[in-house]
């Protein structure tokens, strides 16, 4: 039987990283086994359940690159994939339980009468667990339907997993304790329960539960901050699972190849945004320029930065790329290449571009650059160093004023590369402004 996994989020208005990881592991497992990954939206009658909230989920999964084979926007043979549209199916399953005598009414709600037995769950991750459900006091009967006719999660989730022929239910450990009750439902419906795999939860660094407001909890903040989806996938797959051999940077393809449910940890993981940040930096560093530009484009456009030719943008991105670790910071690194209205960083100006000495040095550098016949990084470096020798000062004392004059900032890519790209005319103009600024200050 071919593997079918599913991710079944409820639209709460955000896609939680924990949910994103659950989705990722389901997706990985399906891909590994050439199976089917189903997306089902658990939107049973909720007030918070808006169109926008559903989009957040879909957008998040799209961004992470977790394409589903069946579900919203995609269709499939086991739909509909919104629980709000599956009422007739639930009615049908409910009547089957009714006929078999498993149900009773309680204050208008419909409840399932537990057989009161011991139930064994063979979990792919947690192993064999025996639950004793014989005591109604500690394990009350499941409610399946409210008096107003709306459905309860436990019931519809089981029905859908049967109907959608889910073979592996991979979900958070918070569902483990209710699993034996689900198993009772499967049996009462004459269905074979799927394989279960309960994954450890993701907590905060301090071990507390991650709430919506905690930093990094909402997946939507990652694209905004300028993380690469492949980097976030990498980080998430390392939470509760390991490729062994002390590997950290690993492609999704390799994760799929190496992944196995029985190697998933049983211990809750703490979320560490620092590490995610580092991994992102590694990806950005090694990324080819085409992909980098693709990811960078929205941030540049949003900042109102425009570039004359793709070649010019490419040259700039090439030298700036190793410096930027979050794409949202990219505009401030590249803006000086594409504007004539330079904004100066006050601290950098105060440090390197203030006073007659700085002005005089820049003047000398400007003169030697003005007489330069070849405008390339190597020549620019030679020229600057010669000027420094003539002035009897260290290279850095020329470099810093020049950098601020040319870019407005105290930090940036290699100075000579910057100056080469900027071009002689603009550089000399900026030197002039810098000299005036330093002398006047």
Partner RNA sequence: CACCCUAUCGUCCAGUGGCCUAGGACACUCCCCUUUCACGGGAGUAACACGGGUUCGAAUCCCGUUAGGGUGGCCA
The residues assigned a catalytic role are 212
- Which one of 7, 25, 68, 151 is in contact with RNA (CB under 7 A)? 151
What is the pattern of x (binds RNA, CB under 7 A) and - over residues 96-125?
----------xxxx----------------
For the bound state, the minimum distance from the C-beta of residue 267 to RNA, rounded and expressed in Å, comes to 3
Beta strands per DSSP E along 303-417:
none
Structure tokens at 36: 């089917």
For the bound state, the minimum distance from the C-beta of residue 395 to RNA, rounded and expressed in Å, comes to 5
Task: DSSP letter for 210, please.
Answer: P
Torsion, CA 198, CA 183, CA 68, CA 71, rounded to 10: -140
- Cα 407 to chain center, whole Å? 32
Kindly tell me which of 285 and 370 has the beta carbon lying closer to RNA: 285
- Which one of 323, 364, 424, 433 is in contact with RNA (CB under 7 A)? 323
For the bound state, the minimum distance from the C-beta of residue 192 to RNA, rounded and expressed in Å, comes to 22
For the bound state, the minimum distance from the C-beta of residue 227 to RNA, rounded and expressed in Å, comes to 14
- Which one of 17, 64, 201, 365 is in contact with RNA (CB under 7 A)? 201
Residue for token digits 């279960």? 196
Q: Residue 134: which residues within 8 A CB-CB, separation 6 or more?
A: 116, 117, 118
- The answer to whether 96 touches 116, Cβ cutoff 8 Å, is no
What is the pattern of x (binds RNA, CB under 7 A) and - over residues 205-244?
x-xxx----------------------------xxxxx-x
- The answer to whether 403 touches 336, Cβ cutoff 8 Å, is no
For the bound state, the minimum distance from the C-beta of residue 1 to RNA, rounded and expressed in Å, comes to 26
Cis peptide before 59 (omega within 30 of 0): no
Positions 31 through 90 that interact with RNA (CB under 7 A): 42, 44-46
Kindly tell me which of 35 and 197 has the beta carbon lying closer to RNA: 197
Write the burial class of residue 279 (CB in 10 Å: 0-12 exposed, 13-18 middle, 19+ buried): buried
- Which one of 297, 322, 376, 389 is in contact with RNA (CB under 7 A)? 322
Sign of CA pseudo-dihedral 231, 235, 237, 243: positive
- The answer to whether 206 touches 231, Cβ cutoff 8 Å, is no
Residue for token digits 């209710």? 178
Kindly tell me which of 184 and 381 has the beta carbon lying closer to RNA: 381
Taking CB under 7 A as the rule, does residue 152 contact RNA? Answer: yes
Positions 339 through 398 that interact with RNA (CB under 7 A): 381, 395-396
Positions 123 through 142 that interact with RNA (CB under 7 A): 126-127, 129-132, 138-140, 142
């Amino acid at each position: 039987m071919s593997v079918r996994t599913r991710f079944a989020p409820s639209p709460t208005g955000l896609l939680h990283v924990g949910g994103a990881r659950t989705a990722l592991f389901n997706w990985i497992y399906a891909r590994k086994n050439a199976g089917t990954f189903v997306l089902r939206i658990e939107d049973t009658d909720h007030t918070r359940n808006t169109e926008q909230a559903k989009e957040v989920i879909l957008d998040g999964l799209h961004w992470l690159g977790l394409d589903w084979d069946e579900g919203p926007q995609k269709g499939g043979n086991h739909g509909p994939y919104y629980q709000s549209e599956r009422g007739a199916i639930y009615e049908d399953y409910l009547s089957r339980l009714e006929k078999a005598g498993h149900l009773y009414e309680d204050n208008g709600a419909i409840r399932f009468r537990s057989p009161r037995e011991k139930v064994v769950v063979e979990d792919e991750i947690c192993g064999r667990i025996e639950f004793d459900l014989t005591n109604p006091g500690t394990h009350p009967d499941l409610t399946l339907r409210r008096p107003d006719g709306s459905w309860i999660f436990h019931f519809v989730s089981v029905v859908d997993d049967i109907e959608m022929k889910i073979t592996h239910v991979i979900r958070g450990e918070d569902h483990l304790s209710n699993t034996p009750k689900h198993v009772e439902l499967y049996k009462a419906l004459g269905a074979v329960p799927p394989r279960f795999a309960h994954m450890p939860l993701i907590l905060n660094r301090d071990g507390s539960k991650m709430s919506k407001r905690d930093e990094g909890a909402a997946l939507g903040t990652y694209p905004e901050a300028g993380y690469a989806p492949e980097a976030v996938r990498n980080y998430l797959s390392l939470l509760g699972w390991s490729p062994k051999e002390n590997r950290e940077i690993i492609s999704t393809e390799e994760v799929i190849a190496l992944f196995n449910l029985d190697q998933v940890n049983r211990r809750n993981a703490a979320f560490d945004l620092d590490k995610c940040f580092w991994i992102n930096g590694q990806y950005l560093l090694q990324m080819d320029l085409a992909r980098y530009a693709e990811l960078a484009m929205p941030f540049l456009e949003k900042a109102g930065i425009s570039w004359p030719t793709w070649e010019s943008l490419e040259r700039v991105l090439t030298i700036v790329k190793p410096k930027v670790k979050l794409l949202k910071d990219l505009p401030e690194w590249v803006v000086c290449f594409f504007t004539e209205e330079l904004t100066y960083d006050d601290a950098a100006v105060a440090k390197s571009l203030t006073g007659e000495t700085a002005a005089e040095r820049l003047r000398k550098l400007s003169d030697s650059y003005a007489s330069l016949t070849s405008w390339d990084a190597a020549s620019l470096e030679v020229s600057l160093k010669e000027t420094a020798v003539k002035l009897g000062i260290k290279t850095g004392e020329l470099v810093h004023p020049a950098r601020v004059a040319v870019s407005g900032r105290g930090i940036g890519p290699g100075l000579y590369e910057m100056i080469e790209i900027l071009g002689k005319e603009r550089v000399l103009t900026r030197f002039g402004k810098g000299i005036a600024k330093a002398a006047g200050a």
